[in-house]
Amino acid sequence: MTDTSPTPPTNPSTLPSEHFLNLPRPDIIIGGGGGVVDTTTLAAHDFDVDTRTGFMPPDPPIPRLPKQWEPWEKVLEQAMERKLQLAIRLDFSSEEAEKSAAWRAQVRELPTLSTHQLASSEVLLRRAHHVLTYIMHFYIHTLPLTDRVLVPAPISIPLLRVSRHLQLPPIATYSDTVLYNWDLHVPHRPSADTDAGVRVLGEGDTSICAPALNDIRSQDLFTGTLDEESFYLASARIELRGVEALDLMRATMDEMFVGDDIAVRRITLYLARLAEVIHELVEILMDVRKGCDPDFFYGSVRPWFCGQDADPAGRVWEFEGVGERMVEEDGEGEGEQLEKPEDLSGPSAGQSALIHALDIFLGVDGGGTQTHTPISTTTQAQTHAQSAENPNRDALTLLRRMQIYMPRHHRAFLRHLIANPRPVRGLVEGGDHPELLDAYNSAVGAMKAFRDAHIRIVAIYIVGPASRQRADEAREDAGGMSASMREGIRGAALRGTGGTPLVQFLKGVRDKTAEALVPTAP
Binding-site residues for heme b, in ranges, read 454
Annotated binding site: 454
Q: Between the CA of residue 400 and those of 239, 256, 356, 365, what are the distances in Å?
A: 19, 26, 9, 10
Distance CA 437, CA 517 (A): 9
Non-local CB neighbours of 54 within 8 Å, separated by 6+ positions: 239, 240, 242, 243, 246, 354
The alpha carbon of residue 188 and the mean position of all alpha carbons in its chain are separated, in whole angstroms, by 25
Distance CA 478, CA 462 (A): 19
Rg (C-alpha) for the chain, rounded Å, is: 23
CA angle (346, 126, 419) in 5-degree steps: 75
Closest CA to 66 of 163, 179, 194, 219: 194
Q: Count Cα neighbours of 278 within 13 Å in the Cβ-side half-sphere.
A: 31
Closest CA to 111 of 78, 138, 71, 66: 71
Is the CB of residue 224 less than 8 Å from the CB of residue 80?
A: yes
DSSP symbols for 294-358: HHHIIIIIGGGG--GGG-TT-PPEEETTTTSEE--TTSTTTTEEPPPP-------GGG-HHHHHH
Distance CA 326, CA 455 (A): 46
Distance CA 98, CA 84 (A): 10
- Identify the DSSP state of 182: E
Distance CA 222, CA 76 (A): 10
Q: Which helix (H) or strand (E) holds 149?
A: strand 149-151
Is the CB of residue 115 less than 8 Å from the CB of residue 326?
A: no
Q: Which helix (H) or strand (E) holds 217?
A: strand 216-218
The alpha carbon of residue 52 and the mean position of all alpha carbons in its chain are separated, in whole angstroms, by 19
